[in-house]
Amino acid sequence: MTEEHKRKISQAMKGHTVSKETRKKLSIARKGKYKKEENSFYGKHHTEETKQALKEQQLKIREKSSKRMLGKKNPIWKGNNVGYTSLHDWIRKHKPKPQFCEICNERQPKEVANISGNYKRNINDFKWTCHKCHREMDGISDNLRKFGKNQKGKTYEQIYGIKKEQQIKKKLCEVRRKR
Ligand SMILES: [Zn+2]
């Protein structure tokens, strides 16, 4: 049957419904067909070899789909590239919460703020902060991201990673004064 032929039949059959009468006839004519001995596979079995091949095929498919859900390819767990929200959730869950904000040491810590700007999946790259300090830290990080370094030539990592709380506090004071 040519493609052209198929297309013509298909067109002719469009909107065509089979009457109840015809369906009954067809049903009777088909009775018993594809059952038992009429099925070409009836009474036959797959060879052990074929069975093994089918099993391996299934395993490969399963392996492929499970691999897709592991590690870097998992849409939820993306290693060091976890989505912003899920990364923060992960940090909140794993970083011990201190009594006070790690920057002002005054207010209650409510959020985890990223230090390096790289959003690493590392609790040491985050600080528990109050809402206010977090906003201010993000403000500073925006500045540093723009210029790479501050006026003294220090990088974000140098200020927040190595220089610890006192330096951050000092920096925050400067920012507060400027505003
Ligand atoms: Zn604070």
Which tens digits make up the pLDDT trace of 34-53?
556 656 667 777 788 888 88
Cα Rg of the chain (Å, integer)? 34
Band of the pLDDT at 162, cuts 50, 70, 90?
very low
| CA of residue 18 to ligand 1 center, whole Å | 76
| CA of residue 97 to ligand 1 center, whole Å | 13
pLDDT higher than threshold 80 for residue 59 = no
Please identify every residue whose CB atom is under 5 Å from ligand 1, which is an ion. Answer: 101, 103-104, 107, 130, 133
| Element of type H or E holding 127 | strand 126-129
| CA of residue 168 to ligand 1 center, whole Å | 11
- Sketch the domain layout of the chain as residue ranges: 47-77, 83-178
| CA of residue 43 to ligand 1 center, whole Å | 77
| CA of residue 81 to ligand 1 center, whole Å | 27
Average pLDDT of the residues in 6-28: 72
| CA of residue 102 to ligand 1 center, whole Å | 7
Cα 79 to chain centroid distance, Å, stands at: 10
* 146 compared with 67, residue with greater pLDDT: 146
pLDDT on residue 120: 80
pLDDT on residue 91: 93
Q: Which two tokens stand for residue 113?
A: 């703020």
**Between the ranges 75-79, 85-89, 103-107, where is the mean pLDDT highest?**
103-107
The secondary structure of 72-88, three-state, reads: HHCCCCCHHHCCHHHHH
pLDDT higher than threshold 60 for residue 166 = no
DSSP letter for 40, please: T
Quote the CA–CA distance of 12 and 31 in Å, as a whole number: 27
Average pLDDT of the residues in 21-34: 69
